[in-house]
Amino acid sequence: MMRAKSWLLAAGLLLGVASGLAAQEVAGSVVDSRTGRGIEGARVAVQGAQNEARTDAAGRFRLTGVSGTSVVLSVTMIGYRPTTHEATVGRTDVRILIVEQAINLGEIVVTGTAGGAEKRTLGNSVTTVRAADVQEIAPAPDISNLINSRAPGVVVIPATGQIGAGPRIKIRGTNSFSLNDQPLIYIDGVRVANDVATGISVQGFGSGIASRLNDIDPDVIDRIEIIKGPAASTLYGTEAANGVVQIFTKRGQASEKPKIAASIRQGTSWFMNPEGRIREPVNMVNGQLVSWNPVKQEEELYKQGQVDRPLFTNGFGMGYGLNISGGTGAFRYFAGATYDDDNGIEPSNDQRRFTGNVNLSITPDEKYDIQGSFGFVKSRTNQAFEAGSGGIWFSTIFGDPAIVNTPNRGFLFGPPEYQWGFRQASQLVNRFTASITVNHRPTSWLSHRLTVGQDQTDEGTQQLNRYLPPEWIQFNPGIGRLGLKYDQRRTLSYLTFDYNANVNVKLSDKLGSTSTVGAQYYRRRSDLVWAQGEQFPAPDLETIAATAQTFGFDDYVENSTVGVFAQQQFAINDKLYLTGAVRIDNNSAFGEDFDFVTYPKVSASYVVAEGQTGTISALKLRAAYGQSGQQPESFAALRSYQPVTGGDGGPAVIPQFVGNPDLAPERSTELEMGFEGGLFDDLLAVDFNFYYQKTRDAILLQPLAPSTGFAGNQFVNIGAIRNVGIELQLSATPINSRNLTVRGDFNLSHNKNKVLDLGEGVEELGTFGPKVGYPVDAIFRRKAVSAELNSAGQAINVLCDDGNGGTTAACSSAPGVYLGVWDPTWEGSFSPTVTLWGRLRLYGLVDFKLGNRHFDNNLRALCQVFLRCDENFNPQNYDPLMIAELQSNNIMQSWVINDASFAKLRELSASYAFPQHIARYVGGSAATLTLSARNLHTWTNWTGLDPEAYFATQLFTRLEQDNTPQLASFMATLNITF
């Protein structure tokens, strides 16, 4: 009996000890207060004790051997404000929110530097978009939506709202008359294709809607770094005048076990308020002026079972993603894949895309490491015809009430089922991007790096016009009913070699030196093969080989750049940083008599304050001066001849282009000054920039004298352009408590450009072309200033502006009058984020673009070509000046060049991070549900469908004609971490 009592007593003591030990720990996670993402590497310590731990890749920590009933935890992390949190001993679900510092001068950036560098050392501006954070708050469908409104000075211009469409990106205005206006794009250090407006653009059918930038899955991106002008892009040399966008994909982090993350998204997109935005065509029917509402008509027919679907329906979208990451200190990995299946509002518009990405990091010892990256994209985008192609938008907008009671049902070229079934445009993409970077640190003062990689894109662009069944021949009689097929195969290949070496030495206690040298080689090659066949002999045939007539063509274009650079930086007291650099480039497109180009750079950065309390918690002043350029088109410098059939029937050549052996790159010079600071104990962050940029040796076409033997024009370096602007970024966190955090972000930028020179003695290039003293994208059109209407409604006594504030009677010979610019002069955004109880995040984004005008060709064609506006039938009810221009047969066009300024409710989202015990029900450690919506409302005076829509192929003119507007959308996304 005594022995049994002894055993019971011992067991009780053991249970008590075990219980005490279980209670002597605290565990939980450290998360970003704005995004809710776990923070890796944060230090968590118990105040007044020796207990401390570092958070893992998911932000989790565990402290053991803790005494007492409660403790105060201290959390510190570079880039975040120090935080304390009281926790009960024994709890394992502690959730600690930490807030970013207003200004993190210790942040490492790569873009614009010879290697990784702290922001404190940079004399130029670099904007970082934390893509992973954005995807947590409001998942973006593509990279353009990640960038839009998050980097001041970067204007994203979407051409159409079709699924699979991509935008143009313009940074700090326009600095060229004729060359590409897109920034350079890099992925993990490798230059990649940045082509826009790809896809169908044949026989006037379509404008090309796809952008290579949007091939990349935003869910595999960690961050995006953007430099905006020559002052920062000097080290990138020729081609970098339009700025540089560096994309860095996600990397694995060391962890005890692999981290698996899965995501599921489901949602829909739709055309917001189509009845209120599509202008109703009018016409005389049986002596009565009748209007036609195509949306309402098709909805009624669908309800009655007479058609299979309404004119526009909701497009269902879904996506699935899975990734795994982890590793040790010597080997880390990340592998992810996503599948997206998205449908537009028309049955002919959809996209299926699979993307895969693998990143490996190997660190055999502290002296070197190897990083490898491989990405793969396979997609098919079916494009709905638009932009002058005769598709459903064309037939709807320019429809005719007089043919409602015919098989056309009012649609110009045929009813919707015919438009969608008759033809299909598509683009197939197979793309891979691979890179290997080797970092070697043989000594404490020497390091060097080599990056080698390739980006290759295989595009297959197709258009199929099907052999028409008997019931559709009435809509396309003649030879067109037999159909055709067009197939273009293009391979884009970019090869990158990039090497640099750094020598970092301490010259004294107060003076440090970093010397860098480097060299790059880039090669772009485009191989093109296309074939076309016309007239299928029978239905259901869809190959070019089955057509009666076939045509073919092949060609290739190659361009190479080689450059070297040297940079020297001095650091004085770790506060003042002085940098000087020079880059020397040669490019295969330069004229044979032009050898190489040199681009210099100098910059200074001074850290006035850092880590202080009070009004100014951090402040850095910066200034930079630099140059970069843009090479001519590949064959612009070469004399070329055109093959023809000679008089004897054999091959011969005739002069085609005269070429220019002295043709040089355009050279852009920029002075940039600004500051970044944290104010009021880090409650407010300010980043301000001013830039003055000048492009000289701008390339223009100059007419040739007939005596040269070459007809046409010659490319010459004679132009000059100036861009001046400001950029402002504000971030404020006025409330930061355990249960409530409020943050607001505001961006604003302004750009004004001016043509300085068009060549000796030349003040303008034509009536409507660029003019000295005006913006590059200035709009010049003839404008009526006086007119009367006679009793028949015809404009009489029409006088036009003479360009000097007076009038001229002959409008056909009147000069073009300045009406404004195509691109916005002001752009910005405001985005508030509210976090409640550390789990629920509410987010919104309103962006705006101001000061620009667009060409409303829908209005012009409807009223002036098809004569289906009320203005055509009741001109006496309208402004005589507008009627005079409408009746001028396109001589005057100011009436359709209208204000396209707007503000848009771009994003709304609500995201909830579930408690851990709920995530465990599905075997996970964390789970987040996000509900997000886009493009819910637009405030604008624009007369067309969408102030952002235009022909994507146009470099300057922003002309809307039967484009799909930006679609509203709703998406639910569930992310689970295992």
Q: What is the structure's pLDDT at 338?
A: 96
Per-residue pLDDT band at 103 (split at 50, 70, 90): confident
Residue 113: which of 450, 500, 442 has the closest Cα?
Answer: 500
**Are the beta carbons of 343 and 361 closer than 8 angstroms?**
no
Average of per-residue pLDDT across 909-938: 92
pTM score, whole prediction: 0.89
Q: Point out which residues pair with 627 in neighbouring strands.
A: 669
Strand boundaries in 58-187, DSSP class E: 60-64, 70-76, 83-88, 94-98, 108-109, 117-118, 127-129, 154-158, 167-171, 184-187
Q: Which helix (H) or strand (E) holds 391?
A: none
Q: What is the structure's pLDDT at 183?
A: 93
Average of per-residue pLDDT across 760-784: 92
Q: What is the structure's pLDDT at 7?
A: 44
Q: What is the structure's pLDDT at 207?
A: 56
Q: What is the pLDDT of residues 207-259, one digit of tens each?
A: 578 889 889 899 999 999 999 989 888 888 888 999 999 999 999 988 878 99
Q: Which helix (H) or strand (E) holds 207?
A: none
Q: What is the structure's pLDDT at 233?
A: 86
Q: What is the pLDDT of residues 359-408, one digit of tens each?
A: 999 999 889 999 999 999 999 999 988 766 568 999 999 999 999 999 99
List Cα–Cα distances, 819 to 769, 803, 892, 898, 926, in angstroms: 13, 11, 12, 9, 56
Q: What is the structure's pLDDT at 386?
A: 77
- The amino acid that residue 239 corresponds to is E
Q: What is the structure's pLDDT at 235?
A: 85
- Exposure on the CB side of residue 975, measured as CA atoms within 13 A: 22
Q: What is the pLDDT of residues 156-197, one digit of tens each?
A: 888 789 998 888 899 999 999 988 889 999 999 999 998 888
Q: What is the pLDDT of residues 553-571, one digit of tens each?
A: 999 999 999 999 999 999 9
- Lowest mean pLDDT segment, chosen from 59-68, 195-204, 268-277, 691-700: 195-204
Q: What is the structure's pLDDT at 200?
A: 66
Q: What is the structure's pLDDT at 201?
A: 56
Who wins on pLDDT, 119 or 454? Answer: 454
Q: What is the structure's pLDDT at 953?
A: 65
Cα(859)–Cα(945) distance, integer angstroms: 10
DSSP-assigned states of every residue in 296-361: HHHHHHHHTTSSSS-SS-PEEEEEEEEEEEEE-SSEEEEEEEEEEEEE-SSTT-EEEEEEEEEEEE
Asked whether the predicted pLDDT for residue 56 surpasses 90, the reply is no
Q: What is the pLDDT of residues 408-460, one digit of tens each?
A: 999 999 999 999 999 999 999 999 999 999 999 999 999 999 999 999 999 99
Average of per-residue pLDDT across 473-479: 93
Per-residue pLDDT band at 702 (split at 50, 70, 90): confident
Q: What is the pLDDT of residues 930-940, one digit of tens each?
A: 999 999 999 99
Mean pLDDT, the chain, whole residue set: 90
- Lowest mean pLDDT segment, chosen from 2-16, 741-755, 764-778: 2-16
Cα(632)–Cα(561) distance, integer angstroms: 12
**Percent of the chain's residues with pLDDT above 70:** 96
Q: What is the structure's pLDDT at 389?
A: 59
Token pair recorded at residue 522: 């880039």
Residue 467: which of 422, 425, 424 has the closest Cα?
Answer: 422
Radius of gyration over alpha carbons of the chain, in Å? Answer: 32
Q: What is the structure's pLDDT at 783?
A: 95
Residue 780: which of 752, 808, 806, 800 has the closest Cα?
Answer: 800
Who wins on pLDDT, 360 or 766? Answer: 360
**Are the beta carbons of 186 and 246 closer than 8 angstroms?**
yes
Average of per-residue pLDDT across 580-593: 92
Q: What is the structure's pLDDT at 10?
A: 45
Asked whether the predicted pLDDT for residue 107 surpasses 60, the reply is yes
Average of per-residue pLDDT across 673-690: 93
Average of per-residue pLDDT across 469-488: 94
